[in-house]
Structure 1
Amino acid sequence: METRDLNGNGLSSSRIGLGTWAIGGWMWGGTDEAESIRTIQGAPDKGVTLIDTAPVYGFGRSEEIVGKAIDEGNMRDQVVLATKCALEWDDNGGVRRNATKQRILKEVDDSLRRLRTDVIDVLQVHWPDPLVDPRETAEAMAEVKAAGKIRAIGVSNFSPEQMDAFSEVAPIDVAQNPYNLFERQIDEDVLPWAREHDTRLLAYGALCRGLLSGRMHADREFPGDDLRNNDPKFQQPRFDQYLAAVNALDQFAQEHYNKRVLDLAIRWLLDQYDHAFALWGARTPDQLDAVANVPGWHLDEDARREIGRIVDTHVTDPVGPEFMAPPARD
């Protein structure tokens, strides 16, 4: 497994991380705690040492499962633990942005308790709050770092302008944004900013909610509150366009590299930026088996250009990840 440092703060992890939104169950049709714990505890054996979670994933459930798995597996020193802050929720499951200092200070202590640890390796502001100046949010993050509760500071879903303002007060070690073969919006803004500032990129949705796994089919149905029921990519006629692109990418991967589309999607992401990390959502141990197919090969510029052409040819009505953005407070 390839590893990288997380911006000179003494942390180093695998370039593929375990994303645990689905493990929290919320918006993914439920969760199986025992299976989730086996997945987390088995991740380091497969070379995956970065675990990313958030309080809002299952309203504390994901952090609790992650904390239990790490504690009972006696594996805290084997992993880099990343979580988030600055979202709040009510009893009805409504989620809103809240990046006030008061909210961040409370969330850090709550996360430390749920994660069963005395320090969080990377704390990220989950979404920018339009009602709070990024500099105020940065002050809160700098305070919890100075208190020794976190080791590194990150932001998620921030624009370059918001990161500029935040950076006036506190350095940004990590920027986390949606990024995959079907959602390449950050190529125009966040990725150039990260390169210029030598900031690490944590890419979430690396397999685009499973679209790039190669296991989707046109009549696939999603249970319960699964967010893909509201994702425009999974609605017709767009769904057929994306599935056609997946088939073409799979053929390209097999013909040129003896790989599959899932392997190609992760390799493409890592080759876009030398300091990129891909978050791989998995709920069962076997869903991490394909991690072994990613290291040891690369895509050159011509291959990346052809991959982009394949996507653009088949997806004639693209749509981004905007549907996932939570609202601001009233």
Structure 2
Amino acid sequence: MQFRTLGDSGLRISVIGLGTWAIGGGDWKFGWGDQDDSEAIAAIVRAVELGINWIDTAAIYGEGRSEILVAKAMEQIPVASRPLIATKCGRVALGDGEIGKCLRRDSVIRECEASLKRLNTDCIDLYQMHWPEPDEEIEEGWQTLVDLKAQGKVRHIGVSNHSVSQLQRLQAIHPVTSLQPPYSMIAREVEAEILPYCGQQNIGVICYSPMGKGLLTGTFTAARAAA
């Protein structure tokens, strides 16, 4: 396995990580269908055995289910071999199947505390704002992440799906350790501005959906894609 340093964090992370969107199951708005919890846990354990040293999740994945499964997988991995855990805030389950968007301070703090509990940890390795929405709240949300870092509840802070102009607004408050953009052979928009900017600013880039949500795996038939 190859490793690279993530932005200004000093963290050496494997060039391949494991995302956990799908293991949240199908009982929420953006679910990928039913999942077997034991298979999900086994997949995480096996990924670590093969050299992956970071797991990416989010509070909204399965409305907390993914984080819980990640924590259960950690119980099966020796402490010295446990991977770094990255999770996200800013998408909030409203209780009626709908998903809200909120980066207000009180909401972000509640999300962080809930994630710490579900992940069974006292500090999150990388805490990220999931989306820059609402746009007018990104500075408040980012300052809250800065404060959570100062309190020792998170080690490093980053964002996902932000534009260059939004990154610049956040950088004026505190350096951004990492950005998660979608990037694959069929989604290359970030090459124009975002990747060059991140390179100049030493912002680590963690690409998500590198296989185009499965379209690049070679397993999709026309019928499956249509479904």
Please, what TM-score do these two structures have when normalized by structure 1?
Answer: 0.65
Aligned structure 1 segments of 4 or more residues deviating by more than 6 angstroms: none
Structure 1 residue 54 corresponds to structure 2 residue 58: yes
Greater helix percent: which structure?
1
CA distance in 1, matches of 2:33, 2:82: 30
Q: Tell whether 2:197 aligns with 1:193.
A: yes
In structure 1, what is the equivalent of residue 138 of structure 2? 134
The superposition leaves residues 72-114 of structure 1 with CA deviations (integer Å, 9 ceiling, x where unpaired) of 4344753111000011112222112111111111111100110
* SS class of match (1:219): helix
Change (3 A) 1:8 1:163: closer
Q: Distance in 2 between matches of 1:193 and 1:134?
A: 19
- Cα displacement (A) at 1:71: 2.5
Given the alignment, which residue of 203, 210, 214 partners 2:214? 210
User: Does the alignment pair 1:158 with 2:162?
Assistant: yes
Structure 1 position 6 matched with structure 2 position 29: no
Higher RCO, Cα 8 Å, sep 6+? 1
Residue 25 of structure 2 aligns with which residue?
25
Contact 2:68–2:119 (Cα < 8 Å) also in 1:
yes
Give the share of equivalent positions with the same residue, in percent.
37
RMSD of the alignment, in Å? 1.6
Amino acid at match of 1:89: A
What does 1:169-318 correspond to in 2, within 5 Å?
A: 169-220=173-224, 234-235=225-226
Does structure 2 retain, via aligned residues, the 8 Å contact 1:81–1:120? yes
Using the alignment, how far apart are the partners of 1:149 and 1:51 within structure 2? 18
Question: Which structure's CA Rg is the greater one?
Answer: 1
Aligned residues: 223
User: 2:77 corresponds to which residue?
Assistant: 73
Contact 1:210 1:216 in 2 (8 A): yes
SS of alignment partner, residue 136 of structure 2? coil
Gap regions ≥5 residues in structure 1: 221-233, 237-330
Q: In the aligned structure 1, how far is the partner of 2:91 from the partner of 2:120?
A: 21
**For each residue in 1:123-169, what CA deviation from the matched residue of structure 2 results, as whole angstroms up to 9, or x when unmatched?**
11000123534322221010000000111111111111111001111
Name the SS for the 1:60 alignment partner: helix
The answer to whether the 8 A contact 2:45-2:76 is kept is no
Question: Within the alignment, does 1:105 sit opposite 2:100 as a pair?
Answer: no
- Report if the CA contact (8 A) 2:6-2:205 is conserved: no
TM-score (norm 2): 0.93
Unaligned runs of 5+ in 2: none
Mapped partners of 2:82, 2:73: distance in 1 = 12
Indicate if the aligned counterparts of 1:85 and 1:125 stay in contact, CA closer than 8 A: yes
- CA distance in 2: counterparts of 1:182 and 1:208, whole angstroms: 7
Three-state SS of the structure 1 residue aligned to 2:212 is: coil
Check conservation: 1:100, 1:132, Cα contact below 8 A: no
The question of whether the paired residues in 2 share the 8 Å contact of 1:145 and 1:151 is answered with yes
